[in-house]
Structure 1
Amino acid sequence: MACVRSQYSICFLTWSALLLFRVSVHDVEASCCQKVFHKKVGDTVEFSSCLPSEGVAYAEWRLGHLMIAEKDVKVSENPQFKDRLNLNPTDFNLTVTRLTLQDSGYYSFISGYGTNQRPTVIITLQVHEPITTQPVLTSNSTWHSRNESCTFLLECSATSDISRVTYKWTVGNRSMNGSTLQYYTRKKDGDIIFTCTVSNYVSEMSTSETFKCSNDTDELSSQETMSSFSTLVHLILWPVIGILLIIVTLISLLVYMKSKDLLCHRLIQSPSTNQSLSTDQTVNQDESSQQVYSSLLHGDLSVYETMTGSNNTPNGRQDDPLESSDYYNLDPQSATGP
């Protein structure tokens, strides 16, 4: 009886050890499996299932919630991955070719034995645009005459629109991170080489420039400042002059149009004014003639006295105005005589 119990215990321990060994092997395989990939556009990537393939009843790959490949089923015909996916039927590894930026994301491998699901394997893929041009380096410096030293302010920028890039400066045997660098040096240090490197996970590009600390540095900086100020003045001055010219032209045009309208108005009024004046003169002449004629009919002597004046005869007596008048015989009472 004791022997049977001993054999049973040995079998149980052996089975437990094998099970633990198998689980540990699975964990080692899963832990050693690559879970993060950084690739550039156009590359090819292969995702490992990271689990044993024996006895697997079902297996599938997903990108987020989108199923893109499944065991014993043709790979997805999704337009994003058309003719770019390959599922290995033996180990269930997934290969994606001709990568694009849209392929970035979280890929999950789901599998199981019958109704028992195994742990889900999640893999991260980041597809990057490669850097193909050198970065641009700009600088500004200040000369300190008191101790004959310089302060350099440099900036490095990537020429292409690429996200998630890092910047590194190298000066001699020193390295600094960041897109800008402020560096202090003395005149006696001579030429200094500044190297800027811009990089991402799949590529990098560098550019270098040599600077020397001298009192010409401040002069050059002042010249650059004056040049920038002059450019700014031109950019502001010329548009202002153009606007003023337009305003003056518009005012001159308005004045010209107003004076032209006034002249035309006067020309239109002149004939009617002359005609009115002529009519008034004709009416006045007619009234004057009528008054004279009326005076003649009523025997008004004052008019004729004015016309003949007071004339003396040779005998020294004053003639009778009525007798000396040319119109004397016109009196109706004297026309018949004694």
Structure 2
Amino acid sequence: MRICYGYHVLYSGTALLLLCYGLCVRADENTVTEHRDAGSSLTLPLGHPKESVTYAEWKYEGKTFAVYIQGQVRISDEPQFSGRLKADSDHLSVEVTDLQLQDSGSYSIVADKSGAQLPTKIISLTVHGKLIIDIESNQIWVESKKSCEVNLLCKVREDQKVSYTWSGYKNGSEAGLRFTLSPAEGDVTLTCTAAEVSSPSEGNNTRNVTCNPGVSNNQLHIWIAVGGGVALFLLIVIIAVICWWKSHRDIDSPDQGNTVYADVNDGNVRKDKRSESINVASIYETVDELRGTSDKPQTLYDKVTFARPAPLGPSPSSPYQVVL
């Protein structure tokens, strides 16, 4: 009994192990790994004949974005793929266009045949950003050779592990490329292609190179720097002169203004004094004042009383009382 029980446990364990192995193999067979560049597209075919499928769903991370029902593939309203899905009802497929980095993940296709579920197809997608490549160029004129020593350096902006390939005028398999170019060869074209090692993502850039006799890039940069420095110096001098001129003009302007206003104010003061004298004193007081300075009559009243002998009585307070 014990021996039989032991064999039974052994057989059960072996069967369970084989079943798990079969499921894993089955899952691996239905899983596909895809790599795409950003901006490219991915087609997701159903993988079953049209007549053998009654219903199907296309899912991204468990969310349905397309269904097949009643002979038509219909796109659902999924914000992530808005405007970027194309359905093909004849071939039972859905195409995701203009792939973005956030589209990376697991896609699954679930299909039914008369109520029985068919094997699920899984696509594991990785979207890679497009490689942006820069080419640095430097050349030195070698008088003895009457030619230029050209140095090119190809590099990607992102910190990624990539391989480089040069093509065109010269070939190479490294990031840097060095060669000799004479003026007689004219303008030459070189293309650098960088490919990511872990994915098919790649990018390229092209540079045209011409040998300039007697002038190197370093000398050209020096002359540009000198010219820029001279222009900056002249600009500072011009600004300083303008500021100095404005400051002296502002200092001189108030003195001239004060002189003009002083002349005008003097006349106003004199005019105001005369006006004040007329306003404060009466006409009779003005006549009395003038009588002290002139022997001739100044007014009608003064003429009536002029040269008349003074009365014997007490002196009146006003000459007009005598006339009355």
TM-score of the superposed pair, with normalisation by structure 1: 0.47
Kindly name which structure, 1 or 2, has the bigger radius of gyration based on alpha carbons. 1
